[in-house]
A and B are shown apart, each in its own frame.
Chain A
């Protein structure tokens, strides 16, 4: 199958469009059995460049997308997953799907000089590989060279500075972070173990355009045998495309955005558990959501604002203040964002502005 994931920023339909032919080459995708990472991305034999796009290799490597992704300085992202032949992930409603040992994910990050002009080449920065072996998840980032011909492992990470024009036509200066392995774990930590974040039913449950036609991802994964036990997509949970005004109410979309961009740390088992601020979409306790909650241990990060969320008053709320910041001690998330996501800020502001009540 020659399909390439293509993320349409505000589209209701996420298209996985065919993008030219490619060869499967001579290599066989790697099925890892331990925490050892090969020195080059090519040795994973899971993705290849096809007409300048990091694409799933032919065969059983599956490109996928999420309804609402993490904002990463506006990077173009491509995701793939492969489970070992003859195995399948087990379905569950709430958490990460139960991927078997030997599962390999890739996530590639790149930019166009002008995001709006899709005729321009994508400059690939890095491809992150996450794999499961002996019951544990492991990480490695691979840094693409300037020519875009090869990606080499970079366990200690790097800050890559460049400028580009974003989806709105605004020139942006990025200090893009290729994370160190530990910085991967900083976000990918749940319930005492490191784990993937995105591949949960509620983020995968959406239609995408495969080469053979449009199909729901959960249904596609079930039909192709890499997922077992999934219900009909209509009976599976779903969080909306936050960027799509037609995908849900402001509250639903804002809460989806907050889970995608904050909820991996801000959860009782996550890295920000000490804050008591929990931002997953299923949280109902106003105090945990930050409503009239004093910021905890924020240092200079609170910007003089009294509460994390002040109903009706985004300009007095800490959460948007930290979303609008780019200085390292203030900005949230703490890593992985050096540019303000104006669309995300606007959505969260709209949600806070409409909240009833007041703080005393």
Chain B
């Protein structure tokens, strides 16, 4: 006989527990109530069978899952708990399915969805993952990993979506990014709190995003705007990062060494990589020990082969990046302070920044004994000169701009202190304000 290891205590209930109550809920005609006394299989059945325009109401309490919880891809579903601290979906016992709550919309369909007022804890992989939605609203959802030793990659993760609003939510402890919106279009990420992630918030390979009013603290890096090669959607553009708090992002990098974010030195306030049209203004960068805000090309992070073997439309150089009217306080004091593991990829860029100190042989080194607040890798490609990509930084209070000229960097004998320049006037240009992203009609 087959020997059972353990019997999971699920009842083989076959009744449809998804009872239609018929009461009104903002136009929804169908409310399905879920409570913690139900078996996991029954809850999964309710999620899996949810009808168009229905609301799944999850009563307060802690729900325990061993499997991913997959949501129906019918249009207009709302998944609603009783509050971020009262309805808890606990995946600490997860043995199958990579992620926590998942909605995977088949390509080509238009599906709206709302997730609100609950918490997801200790998923094996990502917390809340939505692929292919159009009209995605995440409101007051908290994702964290309080007990797992290996944390999942992403907290709140819409990918290949359109019309995304993530607000009033939190992510704590993601081993990649707390709130990550990838390969999407028309995005607002506002008023969230992200802590203890490798990257707090990331807009990656996406078009038309506003990131505002967020508090990103105690991550490895506060906010990232990336355009990476090797993905189906490239050409990230039109991203505004404004009125955010980006403070004390000094958590040592615990990302998987092969992930892109593993390259980030602890102490990074923010970074633009290879995007076009990024406006960064009204933010407060404080206490980030490696650097306040950085602007870099693909070549600063990856190999020539990786940056050039990309789909057509990929531009490895950042361009039209405008960093203005931000407040910088106490950034860049010591790039190595929180990057002590020489075997982790994050050490490389930390060491690079640190090599800009200690003036020697007449080399200037960083001004005022700290890494400048807005730093640019200065990689222009063959024959480039001047400021061909329109990188502009101005009126950032006491924050200094520096061009690192990394195309002259010698990795064998780090020489940043010899190649740095502080030509603020050459980069003090003005770019047109980017248009606001309309808050998606949800």
Contacts and interface: CB of A to CB of B under 8 A. Distances in A.
B151 to A, nearest CB: 8
B107 A273 contact: yes
Interface string A237-281: 000000000000000000000000000000011110111100000
Contacts of A328: 94-98, 124-125
A158 B65 CA distance: 11
Interface in B95-135: 95-99, 102, 104, 106-109, 123-126, 131
Contacts of A273: 107, 131, 160, 232
A161 B5 contact: yes
Contacts of B259: 295, 298-299, 302
Contacts of B4: 161-162
Contact of A295 (B94, B98, B150, B258): B258
Contact of B306 (A160, A292, A302, A327): A292
Contacts of B25: none
B256 A302 contact: yes
A360 B311 CA distance: 18
A299 B153 contact: yes
Interface string A122-161: 0100000000000000000001000000001111111111
B41 interface: yes
B37 to A, nearest CB: 15
A318 B99 CA distance: 19
Contact of A192 (B14, B109, B154, B257): B109
Given A154-B12, A273-B232, A300 B150 contact: yes
Interface residues of B, number: 76
B41 A192 contact: no
Contacts of A159: 8, 66-67, 95-96
A60 interface: no
Nearest to A187: B104
A164 B2 contact: yes
A299 B230 contact: no
Contacts, number: 218
A163 B1 CA distance: 10
A111 B104 CA distance: 31
B41 A156 contact: yes
B72 interface: yes
Given A192-B106, A192-B108, A299-B256, A335 B96 contact: yes
Interface residues of A, number: 67
B153 A111 contact: no
B303 interface: yes
A338 B96 contact: yes
A177 B152 contact: no
B45 A303 contact: no
A185 interface: yes
B309 interface: yes
Given A180-B45, A300-B152, A327 B124 contact: yes
Given A186-B70, A274-B232, A329-B125, A299 B41 contact: no
A157 B258 contact: no
A27 interface: no
8 contacts: A153-B14, A183-B48, A269-B107, A271-B131, A276-B230, A292-B305, A299-B256, A328-B98
